[in-house]
Amino acid sequence: MTIKRFSIDDLMIVDTECNPVHRMYIRELLDSASSEYQRSKLNRQQKVDIINELGIDTLTEVLAECFLRKGASYNAAQEARFTWAILTGKGLTDEAN
């Protein structure tokens, strides 16, 4: 059994290898238009690695919940596809799943 480095807690991504545990808001990973994404200390490869480990579909669901709670009418799937393309130069169907 492989132990995952990252997990999801509500709208946060948790890096369990950091001490103390590091928590990232979902928008830091998948909402390229957000200030959280723009200010993130994570580089492109780190974001891709986290998305690959947790899965784009799962993270898109978390982003959709985030938008719902904020009362925003943004399309989480569209934002995730756009951000994934920025990070990898690929569309969602290429390798993200």
Residue ranges per structural domain of the chain: 6-95
What pLDDT was estimated at residue 84? Answer: 94
Give kind and range of the element (H or E) at residue 75: none
Rounded to two decimals, the pTM is 0.86
Phi first, then psi, for residue 6 (nearest 5°) are -110, 145
Name the strand (E) or helix (H) holding 76.
Answer: helix 76-88
pLDDT in tens, 59-90: 999 999 999 999 988 999 999 999 999 999 87
Considering only CA atoms, which of 61, 75, 81 is closest in space to residue 10? 61
Q: How confident is the model at residue 45 (pLDDT cuts 50, 70, 90)?
A: very high
